[in-house]
Amino acid sequence: MDINLTQPEEEHLAAMMAKISAEIEKKGGWIPFSRYMEMALYDPDLGYYCSGQEKFGAEGDFITAPEITPFFGQTLVNTVLPILENLKKRGLPTRILEYGAGTGSLAKSILLELHSRGFDLDEYHIIEISPDLIQRQKVLLNNVCKENNLRTQCVWLDFVPNDVEGVVLANEVLDAIPCERICVHNKIWHHLGLAITQGSEGKKIISAPGPALSNAECKNDLSPLLQNDQAFPEGYTTEIHPQAQAWLKTLSEKLRCGLLLIIDYGFHEQEYYHAQRSEGTLMAHHHHRALTDIAALPGISDITTHIECSSLLRILEQASNSEIFFSSQASYLLHAGIGDLVLQKASPDDAKQFIPISNALQKLMSEAEMGELFKVIAFGKDLKALNLSLNELPGLTGRSRIY
């Protein structure tokens, strides 16, 4: 592999490889991909998200929308503010719950924009699995609140509260939830996991087919498109997402009144399980470089999968007293008023100020960048209690692309 690792990276990788190898041997020589992804990303000692290495920005492995420009978070405020204002009018606490807050950039943008509009949130809750990122978030957000005299209390949780009222945000969260990798073998869907092979250079972790999917898995976890396994050629490989689906089902049940906003990259099932996408969507990145071998650098590389939107929308459709909206990120941002926000805060006549903003918007909204690949799923629960409906909220007034 033509990648030069630092000595700390080599040591980290060796320790992670040894731990995964031990897990494979303990489980009889094979583990499902979801277990590998869980260890590689979330092992408490060596997992990618639990280590202190830089993950975001130019020095990390990827850049998310809140790091590209604060206008992303400011635009989200246009959507969520009517909900928060109506909660406040009823004497209820105003809260936002963010999953996987990363560097804290999104929270910072939202809190400052709310404050600039004369609205101080009561509480900003964060659920974050990475101890390193929690510490960074605390330093950033506590300073933001102190320096700007915000009354908002930032709270870090390790569980999902029952009866959530308010706004829930998940920006680039589902792509990092461990998925199952499956492949067609002898015209039957099989789990695709990791095994160990002994070569001339020693032990190596490789992809290997495992047991066939059970009848229950085929019924409950597979898209209707995949249930016709005869339609896919031998070796066709893709992903299914039972853990992400379980996360969403639980959250949709615990949200009593308010809005869930999911923003992530993904496709409808017809595109996700297209015949030409025969290797699936899994990706690994190390310092902004895509890796062809997902199992090459566990613990020091990011691993993600595109979300399969259709199954998530079907889960949300089953919820009572609810509304759903689905569209591209570009369409959402345009309808949410990102253009007006930019013109309010920056002058096109000031090239030095405006060109970087224009470049950032290009990344967020161009079809060749994030604009079409990234999708927005909005789920409103009992908004009638707040005298609101989903299609009244800025950003959610356009055409929904659920079907």
Q: pLDDT tens, 16-39?
A: 999 999 999 999 999 999 999 999
pLDDT confidence bin for 86, thresholds 50/70/90: very high
In a domain, 86, yes or no: yes
pLDDT confidence bin for 403, thresholds 50/70/90: low
pLDDT confidence bin for 346, thresholds 50/70/90: confident
In a domain, 403, yes or no: no
* Domains identified in the chain, total number: 1
Pairing of strands 180-185, 188-199: antiparallel
Alpha-carbon distance of 396 to 289, in angstroms, equals 35
Angle at 247 between CA 241 and CA 250, to 5 degrees: 135
In a domain, 402, yes or no: no
Nearest alpha-carbon partner for 229 in 275, 179, 184, 280: 184
Full DSSP string of 22-57: HHHHHTTS-EEHHHHHHHHHH-TTT-GGGSSS--BS
pLDDT of residue 317: 95
In a domain, 359, yes or no: yes
In a domain, 363, yes or no: yes
- Residue for token pair 């604060």: 70
In a domain, 196, yes or no: yes
Task: Identify whether the C-beta of residue 187 lies closer than 8 Å to the C-beta of residue 231.
Answer: no
In a domain, 300, yes or no: yes
Q: For residue range 172-222, list pLDDT tens digits in order.
A: 999 999 999 999 998 899 999 999 887 766 678 889 999 999 999 999 999
* pTM for the whole structure: 0.93
Q: Which domain holds residue 230?
A: 1-397
Nearest alpha-carbon partner for 285 in 273, 297, 275: 297
pLDDT confidence bin for 78, thresholds 50/70/90: very high
322 residue type, one letter? S
CATH of the domain at 291: 3.40.50.12710
Q: What is the mean pLDDT of residues 124-146?
A: 95
Nearest alpha-carbon partner for 248 in 321, 337, 173, 357: 173
Across the chain, mean pLDDT equals: 92
